[in-house]
Amino acid sequence: MSVTCSEIERHFWLTRSVARVMGVCLSKAMAQGRLSPDEYCEMVTRCRSGSCRESCQLWLASRTELAEEPPEECLHRDVLKRLRQA
């Protein structure tokens, strides 16, 4: 099974978007040494392996302000909560 670039991009943007709605800038977290490039890659890979794409998209579409918590099904819950607290 080949992976299309658009599939990888979709999960890259889902990961970044959920973080952004939580007030977390993943680029800034990496620049500050709070998130390694490898951890970031693992986040996107983990997102691709999950089955929550549609629920995350719906969650993102319903946000009008910063969220305290990521979607319940989000596979990045622990990482995003840690980064948000820092």
What is the tens place of the pLDDT at every residue in 17-56? 999 999 999 999 999 999 999 999 999 999 988 888 888 9
Per-domain residue ranges for the chain? 5-85
Token pair in block for residue 62: 């319903």
Indicate whether this model's pTM tops 0.85. Answer: yes
- Sorting pLDDT into bands at 50, 70 and 90, what band is 5? low
Residue 2: pLDDT over 70 = no
Average pLDDT along the chain: 90
DSSP string, 45-80: HHHHHSS-HHHHHHHHHT-SS--SS--TT-TTHHHH
Residues 3-14: what's their mean pLDDT?
A: 82
Token pair in block for residue 33: 């040494």
